[in-house]
Amino acid sequence: MHQFENETKKFLEELKNGSSNILVAIRVRPLNQKERSVSEFETIRILDGKMIVLMDPESEREDDLLRKNRLKETNFAFDFVFDQWTPQQKIYENTTEFLLEGVLEGFNTTVFCYGATGSGKTFTMIGTQQETGLMPRALQSLFNYSESDRFKDTQFKVSYVEIYNENIRDLLTSEDKNLEIREDKNNGIQISGVIEIDVKTVNEVLSLLKVGNRNRSKEATDANKESSRSHAILQIQVECKDKAAGLQEQIIQSKFSLVDLAGSERAANTNNRGLRMVEGANINKSLLVLGNCIQSLSEANEKGIKNPFIPFRNSKLTRLLKDSLGGNCRTVMISNVTPSVSSFEETYNTLVYANRAKNIKTVANRNVLVAQNHISNYALLIQNLRQENEELKLLIQQQQLNSFTPQTKLPIINQKTTPVPQLSLKQQVNELETTINQNVSDIVEAKNKLYDLEQQQNHYQQNITFLQIQKGRTQDKFDQMKLLEKIDNAKTQKAIFKQCEDDLKQQLLEYDIRKVDISKQVLQIQDTNQKNYLQGIIKQGELKIENVELQIQEKRRRYQETIQDDQVRQLRTQIHQQQQAKQIQSAKSKSSQQNGPKKVPSLPGVDSPYYSITGGQTYAVQRHQKQKSHLKLPPVLQIGQLQKSPKTQNQSLISNPLKYRMAQRYTTRFNRPPSYRPPSSSRKSALGKYINRSLDLGSGRESVNKSSGDLQNSVSLRKLKKLHQNYQNQRFERVMSGKKNQNSMPYFGSKILLPGMVHKSPYVKNFQNNYEPIEIKKERLKMLNINLKAQYGDKFLLQN
Ligand SMILES: Nc1ncnc2c1ncn2[C@@H]1O[C@H](COP(=O)(O)OP(=O)(O)OP(=O)(O)O)[C@@H](O)[C@H]1O
C-alpha cells in the first residue's frame, strides 16, 4: 500500500512537471434501482484502489463461441480506481485539484470523462445540486487561486460548446449556428466565432455553466432517463501576468478544458429508433474515432514511432481534443463504468480503452510570452532609438551634400552590373529546388500512408468476413445480434479508413498539379545550366517516387501471396477433414451391416461397471490375461470357450486349475476378479518401486511415476503414450473393420458385456449384447455341473 502511494505521488509530480503519461482513473457507479432488481451480483471488484477485477457473468456458457477463449476474470490496473462510495470531493482532489495551480502557471490542462451511456459521466463532471461535480469545483478553486497576490490580474474567458450530430454549437447562446474549427500554429486548436465571455467572479461562471447545461441536448433513452446526446466542452482561457518573474514581465496563457462526453451506446441496449438512432450513430462514430486515436497514440508510444499517423481529423471531437491527447497538455481521463451484469460488455470495452490510454504520453510546456516592455528595458530601447536617430541625421546631412553634385555623375553602368539579377536567379533556383524536394517527399509520404490505409481496410474486411461466417454458424439470436453489431463496427472503421484514403488521394492530385506547375517554372528559367540542374533534380524525384511505388507493389504482392497461402491451407484442412469424415462414415456403415453383435470401440476412461445377472449376483471376466505381465494370475476361462469346446476338452481345461481359473463370485476383496487393481500406493512397478499412477497399455502394463517425473520402466513416457495411442487406434480399426476379436464378444475397456445385458455407460446407450440369452446359458451350466459332479464331486462346480 505504501509503495502504491509513493508511486502515485511520483506520478503526480511528473504530471505536474508536464512529462508523464495521461492520468487514467476509473469510477464505478452504484447499481441503480432497476439494476438491483435484476442483477444477482456485481461484476466488478476493486483491490487496493488501483486494481479492478472484472468478472464475466457468462463465462460458463459453453455454446458461446465468442466467449470460448475468454477468461473468467480480467484484471486491469490504473492510476486510481474509485468505488461506488467515493465522494465527489475525493475524486476532485485526486484527479483535478492538483493541476489547477499549473493552469495558472501556463500549462494547458484537460479533464474528460469517458464511458457508456448511463455510467455516470455527467454525474462526475457536473454533478447534482447536493453533490457538485468536477466542473463547478474546479472553477471555484481556479478563482480562489487567482485571488492570491501571485496570480492577480488573471483574466478568464469562458466558452461552452457542444458537439451534436457532428456540428459544433455554442451553448452560451440560444442562436442555432454551427461553428468551425481552426488550427493555428501559435494558438493551437480554436473554434472560430465562439462566444468567449470575460468572467470576474465564480458566480458569473457558475451561472454561465447553468445556462449552458440548460441548452445542452438531452433526451431520455432506455439506458438513461437524462441521457446527454452531445459532447460538452467547457473551456476557460486563462491569461495572467506573473509577478514572481522578477523584472521581466511574463504573460501566461493557458487553456483549461473540461469535457463531458456523450455515452457510447449499443443500439440493442437503448432501443433507440429514428432521430435517437442517428444521434447514437454519430456519438458512436466520434467515440470510435477517439478510440482509434487512443489506440494509434498508444501503439506509437509503445513502438517508439515518430510522427505517427493519428486520425484526429476524422471527427470534430478528436480535432478539438487533439492537443489534449497528443500535444501540449496535461490530461486526465476518468472512465466511468457500472458494475451491473447487463452492462458487462460496455464495462469491458471501456476498461480496455482506458487501459490503452494509459500508454499515451503528452508533453506539456508552459505557454509564456515574455513581454519586453518592462521599465528595465526602456533605457535600452531609448538608447537604440537615439543611436538610430543619430544615424538618420548623418544620412540626411550626406544627402544634402550630394544634392550639390550633378546627378549625371552617378555611375549608371554600376546600376546595371549590380549582381541583383544573378542573386535572384540563384534564389529562384534554390527555392524551386526546395519545392521540388518537398513535393517529392510529400508524394512519397502520401503513397506510403495510402498503402497503410489500404492494409487497414483489408484487415477490417477480413474481420468482417470472419464475423459474417461466425454469424452464419450460430443459431442463437442474441449472439447473432452481437456479431451484427461487431460487423457494423468493423464496417464503420473500414469506412473511416476509406474516407481517409479518399482525402489522401485528393491531396495526391494536388501534389501532381504542383508538380506540373514546378516543371513549367523550371522551363521558364533562361540559364541553361540551372535549368538542366533543376530538371535533373525533378528526374531524381521521379525515380524516388517510382522506387517507392515498386516497393509498395512488392509489399502488396507479398501480402496477396500470404493470403492465398492461408486460403490454400484452409482448403487443404477442409478437404482432409471431409475425407476423414467420409472414411469414418463408410467404416461405420460397413460395421452396422454385419450380422451378429454390434461392435463398439473400447472407450478409454469409461470404467464399465460389473453386470448383475440374476439374483443380484455379479460376474466379471478378464480378457487378455496372459499379456498382463505384472499380474501373475492365470487367465480366466471364458464361459463361451467352455460351451464351444467338446466335453473332453472342457474336462481337461477344468482339471488344471493352475492353468485356468474360472470366473468367481465377487464377494470379498480377496476373491475379486483379476481386473481389480490395488490402490496405487500399494502397487509396485517392474523396477520394484512404488508407483503413483500407471498407464494402461492394454497389452501388459508399463508404469510411470507421473507425479515425480521418474520413469519407472526403461521406456520413456512419450513412447508409452505413443504405444498406447497406437494400440487404441488398432483396436478401433479392428472393430470398425468388422474383424472378429478373440471371443466375438463386444468389450468395453477391460470388461466384457455378458450376453443379454445392456451396457450401463451413458456413452454406449442402449447397447445390448444379443448373444444367446442367459437362461439358455444357465441351463447349459446346470447340465455341465451335473456332469462335473458326477466325475469330481463338488470340487469343480461352476457357480452362477
Ligand atoms: N457515483 C454515483 N453515485 C450516485 N449516482 C450516480 C453515480 N453515477 C451516476 N449516478 C446516477 O446514474 C444516473 C446516470 O448517470 P449520468 O447521467 O451521469 O450518466 P452519463 O454517463 O452521463 O450518461 P449519458 O452518456 O447517457 O449522458 C444518474 O441518475 C446519476 O445520478
Q: Provide the residue ranges of all domains of the chain, joining segments of one domain with +.
A: 2-370, 372-405, 423-588, 598-623+634-673+745-800, 674-741
Mean pLDDT value across residues 55-67: 61
Distance CA 713, CA 703 (A): 6
Among the listed ranges 80-89, 359-368, 609-618, which one has the minimum average pLDDT value? Answer: 609-618
- DSSP annotation string for 147-191: TSGGGTT-EEEEEEEEEETTEEEETTSS---EEEEEEETTTEEEE
Q: Which residue puts its alpha carbon closest to atom 11 of ligand 1?
A: 120
Coil/strand/helix, residue 29? coil
**pLDDT for residue 666 is more than 70:** no
- Give the closest residue to 113 by CA, choosing from 293, 287, 341, 237: 287
Per-residue pLDDT of 773-796, as tens digits, reads 566 677 777 878 888 888 777 777
**pLDDT for residue 31 is more than 80:** yes
Q: Higher model confidence: residue 56 or residue 748?
A: 56
- Ligand 1 centroid to residue 35 C-alpha, Å: 13
Among the listed ranges 49-63, 141-155, 406-420, 670-684, which one has the minimum average pLDDT value? Answer: 406-420
Distance CA 332, CA 124 (A): 13
**According to the model, what pLDDT value does residue 742 have?**
46
Mean pLDDT value across residues 398-409: 49
- Assess whether the C-beta atom of 228 lies below 6 angstroms from ligand 1: yes
- Assess whether the C-beta atom of 335 lies below 6 angstroms from ligand 1: no
**According to the model, what pLDDT value does residue 27 have?**
95
Substitution site in 81, 86, 122, 129 for ligand 1 pocket (most atoms within 8 Å of beta carbon): 122
- Assess whether the C-beta atom of 493 lies below 6 angstroms from ligand 1: no
- Ligand 1 centroid to residue 27 C-alpha, Å: 11
Per-residue pLDDT of 97-136, as tens digits, reads 888 888 888 888 889 898 888 889 889 988 888 899 998 8
- Give the closest residue to 298 by CA, choosing from 325, 277, 337, 264: 325
Looking at every residue in the chain, the average pLDDT score rounds to 71
Which pLDDT band holds residue 82 (cuts at 50, 70, 90)? very high
Task: Report which ligand 1 atom has the smallest distance to the Cα of 263.
Answer: 25
**According to the model, what pLDDT value does residue 604 have?**
42
Q: Higher model confidence: residue 52 or residue 21?
A: 52
**According to the model, what pLDDT value does residue 18 have?**
56
Phi and psi at 606, nearest 5°, equal -90, 115
Between helix 717-737 and helix 528-593 the angle, nearest 10°, is 60
Q: Is there a binding annotation on residue 615?
A: no
Q: Report the 10 Å Cβ neighbour count for 349.
A: 16
Task: Report which ligand 1 atom has the smallest distance to the Cα of 27.
Answer: 1
Amino acid sitting at position 554: E
**According to the model, what pLDDT value does residue 398 have?**
66
- Assess whether the C-beta atom of 119 lies below 6 angstroms from ligand 1: yes
- Assess whether the C-beta atom of 43 lies below 6 angstroms from ligand 1: no
Mean pLDDT value across residues 563-575: 81
Among the listed ranges 109-123, 664-678, 764-778, which one has the minimum average pLDDT value? Answer: 664-678
Mean pLDDT value across residues 556-574: 82
**According to the model, what pLDDT value does residue 363 have?**
60
> How many helices and strands in the chain, by DSSP H and E?
21, 27
Distance CA 496, CA 498 (A): 5
- Ligand 1 centroid to residue 338 C-alpha, Å: 10
- Assess whether the C-beta atom of 30 lies below 6 angstroms from ligand 1: yes
Distance CA 257, CA 408 (A): 69
Q: Higher model confidence: residue 94 or residue 637?
A: 94
**According to the model, what pLDDT value does residue 537 have?**
85
H/E stretch holding 748 reads strand 747-748
Substitution site in 26, 27, 28, 29 for ligand 1 pocket (most atoms within 8 Å of beta carbon): 29
> Within 13 Å of residue 623, how many CA atoms lie on the same side as its CB?
18
The topology (CATH level 3) of 423-588 is Methane Monooxygenase Hydroxylase; Chain G, domain 1 (1.20.58)
Taking CA atoms, 522 is separated from 89, 437, 442, 511, 513, in Å, by 67, 14, 19, 16, 14
**pLDDT for residue 92 is more than 90:** yes
Which pLDDT band holds residue 81 (cuts at 50, 70, 90)? very high
Cα 341 from chain centroid (whole Å): 20
Among the listed ranges 335-344, 544-553, 650-659, which one has the minimum average pLDDT value? Answer: 650-659
**pLDDT for residue 743 is more than 50:** no
**According to the model, what pLDDT value does residue 87 have?**
93
Q: Higher model confidence: residue 650 or residue 399?
A: 399
What secondary structure letter does DSSP report for 94?
A: I
- Ligand 1 centroid to residue 586 C-alpha, Å: 63
- Output the nine-digit C-alpha cell for 405: 553634385
**According to the model, what pLDDT value does residue 490 have?**
86
Mean pLDDT value across residues 265-293: 60
Q: Higher model confidence: residue 762 or residue 467?
A: 467
Mean pLDDT value across residues 205-230: 73
**According to the model, what pLDDT value does residue 771 have?**
54
Grid cell 471488484 is found at: 45
**According to the model, what pLDDT value does residue 712 have?**
41
**According to the model, what pLDDT value does residue 792 have?**
77
- Ligand 1 centroid to residue 568 C-alpha, Å: 52
Between helix 528-593 and helix 420-473 the angle, nearest 10°, is 10
Q: Which residue puts its alpha carbon closest to atom 1 of ligand 1?
A: 29
Q: Is there a binding annotation on residue 700?
A: no
- Give the closest residue to 438 by CA, choosing from 552, 549, 550, 541: 541
Looking at domain 2-370, does it have CATH number 2.60.40.420? no
Would you put residue 358 in left (φ > 0), alpha (ψ -120 to 50) or beta? alpha
Which pLDDT band holds residue 91 (cuts at 50, 70, 90)? very high
- Output the nine-digit C-alpha cell for 456: 487497414
Per-residue pLDDT of 621-656, as tens digits, reads 333 334 444 444 445 554 444 444 444 444 554 444
Cα 300 from chain centroid (whole Å): 16
Q: Is there a binding annotation on residue 663?
A: no
Distance CA 181, CA 481 (A): 37
**According to the model, what pLDDT value does residue 468 have?**
86
H/E stretch holding 337 reads strand 330-337
Q: Are strands 249-260 and 231-242 parallel, antiparallel or unpaired?
A: antiparallel
**pLDDT for residue 337 is more than 90:** yes
Q: Higher model confidence: residue 326 or residue 364?
A: 326
Among the listed ranges 137-151, 552-566, 694-708, which one has the minimum average pLDDT value? Answer: 694-708
- Output the nine-digit C-alpha cell for 485: 453489431
Distance CA 757, CA 769 (A): 6
Q: Which residue puts its alpha carbon closest to atom 31 of ligand 1?
A: 123
Per-residue pLDDT of 712-725, as tens digits, reads 444 456 666 777 77
Taking CA atoms, 208 is separated from 152, 199, 212, 588, in Å, by 23, 9, 6, 81
- Give the closest residue to 357 by CA, choosing from 281, 307, 315, 302: 302
- Ligand 1 centroid to residue 642 C-alpha, Å: 84
- Give the closest residue to 664 by CA, choosing from 637, 640, 629: 637
Q: Is there a binding annotation on residue 118?
A: yes
